[in-house]
Each structure stands twice: as structure tokens, then as C-alpha cells.
Amino acid sequence: TKEGTTLGTVAYMSPEQGRTRDVDQRTDIWSLGVVFYEMIAGQAPFKGEYDQAIVYSIMNESPEPVTAIRTGVPMELERIVNKALAKEPEERYQHADEMLVDLKGIEKSEEAATTSLRQIKPQSPKTKRKILYSGIVALIVFGIVVALYLFIPRGSPIDSVAILPFENMNNDPELEYLCDGITYNIISSLSRLP
């Protein structure tokens, strides 16, 4: 996180980054909240067809509650995600350790004991296949890129350049000196380069 710059993916940008305000660790907590939301809900909290629409959504809209998307999500977990995604930095966790304390509290709470993570609706087989196929394709593409880099010979740097004489296409003898002069000037200029 650095002031005055836009780093990373727009979907993880905090409202203060969208408004070009000062950023601090609370911006990172926002991004972590986005990741948690995606992990729990299986979708991004803020959507849009293009970057500006996503930024508008981040700054002006509230995400759909994760409990409305997935059943069995502890209410306390939803509260933690919502607090991490608070529009105003002052309303968010001020430090990551505060968020960690609340996350550990879920483990100890009665609600978490009665609602196990196994009750959360599992991903459909189609989604799992898509993820698997995407991973396989990514590995294949990565392997091809690495193979191309390692095994395709790279030429040595060019140490010289050949300048061919310009040809007088008009066959006008009076313009022949112009072709010779241009060729000489190019050769002379290139010979002075380091």
C-alpha cells in the first residue's frame, strides 16, 4: 500500500483508493475482506462490466450478505466480513490483529459449534471441473512459456549493420548524387553511435 498510486486489481481497491485519499493498513484490511467474501460467497462483493463500474460499486453499493448467498455461514463471520468491508476506514478493523481476535472468537462461539463448515453448500461438480480445467490449462501454458524460453536459441546481439546503397529508381542521372549522399550520411551517422 503506497500513497498516490493505484496498485493491484480494481476489484480489491478500497473506497479511499477510489477517491485518491490517503491509505494505510486499513486499505489492506479492506482487500482481505474482499478475499474473505469471495472465499465464502464464491463471487466478488462488488461487480461491474468495466473498471469504472466496479469502482462505483465499491464506493456506493453494499455487497449482498454472504448469508443470503450461502447457507450455514455463521452470522459472526458475516459480521467480520462486513466490518472489513466498511466504506469508511474508521469503521473497519484498525489493525489485522483485531480481525484475528474476532476470527478466533468464531471458533469458540456456540454458533460455530452448531454450524460446521461442512454445512456450507459445497461447490457444484461443474464449478470444481472448471477450476480443475483452468488450473491444468494454466500449467500447460506456463510449461510452454518456460520451454520456449529455455529451448529456443536466442541470437547474439548485432555487432554491425549493413547499409546498402540507395537506388535511383527514376534513372535520372542528375539525382544519382542524392542517393549516394543519403547512403554516405546514414553510414557516417551510424558509425558515430557507441
| Residue 91, domain member (yes or no) | yes
d(CA 29, CA 175): 72
| Residue 90, domain member (yes or no) | yes
The answer to whether the CB of 26 falls within 8 A of the CB of 96 is no
Examine the domain organization and report whether 144 and 172 are in the same domain: no
pLDDT of residue 154: 66
Examine the domain organization and report whether 113 and 65 are in the same domain: yes
pLDDT per position as a tens digit, 115-157: 555 555 666 777 788 888 888 888 888 888 888 777 777 666 6
Examine the domain organization and report whether 112 and 131 are in the same domain: no
Domain count, the chain: 3
Examine the domain organization and report whether 25 and 96 are in the same domain: yes
| Residue 5, domain member (yes or no) | no
Examine the domain organization and report whether 141 and 61 are in the same domain: no
Structural domain of residue 45, as residue ranges?
10-119
The answer to whether the CB of 83 falls within 8 A of the CB of 105 is no
| Residue 169, domain member (yes or no) | yes
Examine the domain organization and report whether 85 and 147 are in the same domain: no
CB atoms within 10 A of CB 73: 21
Ordered per-residue pLDDT tens for the chain, 194 residues: 445 445 568 888 888 888 888 888 888 998 999 999 999 999 999 998 888 899 999 999 999 999 999 888 899 999 999 999 999 999 999 988 898 888 888 877 755 455 555 555 666 777 788 888 888 888 888 888 888 777 777 666 666 778 888 888 888 888 888 888 888 888 888 888 76
Dmax (CA) of the chain? 100
